[in-house]
C-alpha cells in the first residue's frame, strides 16, 4: 500500500509541471503515468514480485532522467523523442512480460 501511495505522489509531482520553462512532452508524460499505473496494479494484484516491481520502477526513473536530460537545453529534438519512445516501448514490453511470467509475490 505504501508503494502505491509513493507512486501516486511521484505521478502528482510530475503532473504539476515544476519546470515550466522546458519543452513539454505530453506523449512521454502520459505513457509514463500509464506505465506507473500498470506497475502499481501488478504489484497490488501480486502479479509482480518485489524484485520485479523494483526493477520496473527503476526503469521508469531512468526514463524520467533521460527526459530531463533531453529537455535540459530547452528543446527536445526528434532524435531525442525517438529515443524516449524506444525506451518507453521497451519498458512497456518489460511490464507485460513480468506481469505474465507466472511468478507471483508470496504472502
What tens digit of pLDDT does each residue of 57-73 get? 999 999 999 999 999 99
In a domain, 104, yes or no: no
Residue 41 contacts by C-beta under 8 Å, 6 or more apart in sequence? 47
pLDDT of the residue at 23: 73
The pTM score is: 0.73
Do the beta carbons of residue 2 and residue 44 sit within 8 Å? no
In a domain, 107, yes or no: no
In a domain, 81, yes or no: yes
Q: How many domains are contained in the chain?
A: 1
In a domain, 21, yes or no: no
In a domain, 78, yes or no: yes
Distance CA 35, CA 57 (A): 9
Domain with 92, as residue range(s), is 2-15+26-99
pLDDT band at 10 (very low <50, low <70, confident <90, very high): low
Burial of 3 (0-12, 13-18, 19+ CB in 10 A): middle
In a domain, 105, yes or no: no
Amino acid at each position: 500500500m505504501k508503494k502505491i501511495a509513493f507512486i501516486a505522489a511521484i505521478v502528482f509531482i510530475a503532473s504539476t509541471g515544476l519546470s515550466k520553462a522546458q519543452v513539454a512532452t505530453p506523449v512521454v508524460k502520459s505513457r509514463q503515468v500509464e506505465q506507473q499505473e500498470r506497475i502499481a496494479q501488478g504489484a497490488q494484484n501480486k502479479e509482480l514480485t518485489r524484485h520485479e516491481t523494483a526493477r520496473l520502477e527503476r526503469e521508469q526513473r531512468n526514463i524520467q532522467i533521460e527526459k530531463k536530460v533531453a529537455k535540459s537545453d530547452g528543446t527536445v529534438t526528434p532524435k531525442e523523442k525517438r529515443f524516449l519512445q524506444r525506451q518507453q516501448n521497451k519498458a512497456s514490453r518489460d511490464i507485460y512480460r513480468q506481469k505474465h511470467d507466472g511468478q507471483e509475490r508470496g504472502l
